[in-house]
Amino acid sequence: MDSGVAGNVVSDALIFLEKRTAGKPLIIAVSTGIDSAVVLMLCARMDRKSIHAYFMHDEATPESDFLDLAELEKSSGVSVEKFSIAEIEDSFQKTLNVKGDRKVLGNLKARIRMSILYYFANLYSGMVIGTTNRSEYLTGYFTKYGDGACDLEPILHLYKSEIKGIARYLGVPDSIIRKSPSAGLWPGQTDEAELGMTYDQLDIELRKAEEGSNRSEVSENVLGLIRESEHKRRLPPSLLEKW
């Protein structure tokens, strides 16, 4: 993505944020992944005093994330509050007698973070700003009512493969741009290993699916991800629909 295109994308996102937030405080979870870094840098171009950013770490968080966070704070000019959620996770696991399943624990962790974000949104009368991109949204690669819960989504229209160009334009630290995408749900977890393909490969398939290509031309794996995650992109069914 060239700088001209990236500049237009950033301009549109800022207009969207300015219009929709109406001066309210912005509440953001920062993971030191490229998506949350881009969203933080976008928000920093508005009013830095209105940003409340949080880095919610635990025992699975590598030391390198703290170094990346320090660089992101310098680049954005935003101070990010850091605190551990390990004790909260442990309390949930003990109370519910949770055992073994990493995905169940990962989803629980994402929902704990969401609850904390909305606590701060209530406290400051703010809005939670989402960090999900289009590739994650279409394949359901987010936790329902976890990292998928927010009030605004400023990068939902962008494929993951487009995010790097925006990140470079905004000045996101190179260490964040180059790192393997990960939700940080357990040690060594990466998005692409779970998806079974790179984001570049995934986005090619998603573009074909969205453009109405013949079913045989789109990876069955990707079609399955889209189909099985449809419930995440819809409001819960109810009898209101008949009216």
- Using pLDDT thresholds of 50, 70 and 90, give the confidence band for residue 196: confident
Report d(CA 47, CA 121) in Å as an integer. Answer: 17
Query: What six digits make up the tokens of 41?
Result: 């840098």
Considering the domain boundaries, does residue 28 fall inside one? yes
Average pLDDT over residues 171-182: 90
CA-to-CA dists, residue 89 to 107, 125, 185, angstroms? 11, 26, 12
Considering the domain boundaries, does residue 114 fall inside one? yes
Considering the domain boundaries, does residue 241 fall inside one? no
Considering the domain boundaries, does residue 84 fall inside one? yes
Considering the domain boundaries, does residue 242 fall inside one? no
Residue 150 and residue 28 in contact, taking contact as beta carbons nearer than 8 Å:
no
Reported in sequence order, the residue ranges of the chain that DSSP labels E, i.e. its strands, are 26-29, 51-57, 80-84, 127-128
Considering the domain boundaries, does residue 18 fall inside one? yes
Considering the domain boundaries, does residue 123 fall inside one? yes
CA-to-CA dists, residue 180 to 33, 36, 183, 188, 192, angstroms? 9, 14, 10, 10, 8
Residue 57 and residue 64 in contact, taking contact as beta carbons nearer than 8 Å:
no
Q: Is the pLDDT of residue 29 over 90?
A: yes
Considering the domain boundaries, does residue 110 fall inside one? yes
Which structural domain range is residue 78 located in?
Answer: 3-236
Q: Is the pLDDT of residue 230 over 90?
A: yes
DSSP state of 235: P
pLDDT of residue 178: 92
Report d(CA 72, CA 38) in Å as an integer. Answer: 10
Q: Is the pLDDT of residue 214 over 70?
A: no
Residue 178 and residue 186 in contact, taking contact as beta carbons nearer than 8 Å:
no
Domain CATH number, residue 159:
3.40.50.620
In tens, the pLDDT along 120-146 reads 999 999 999 999 999 999 999 999 999
Domains held by the chain: number: 1
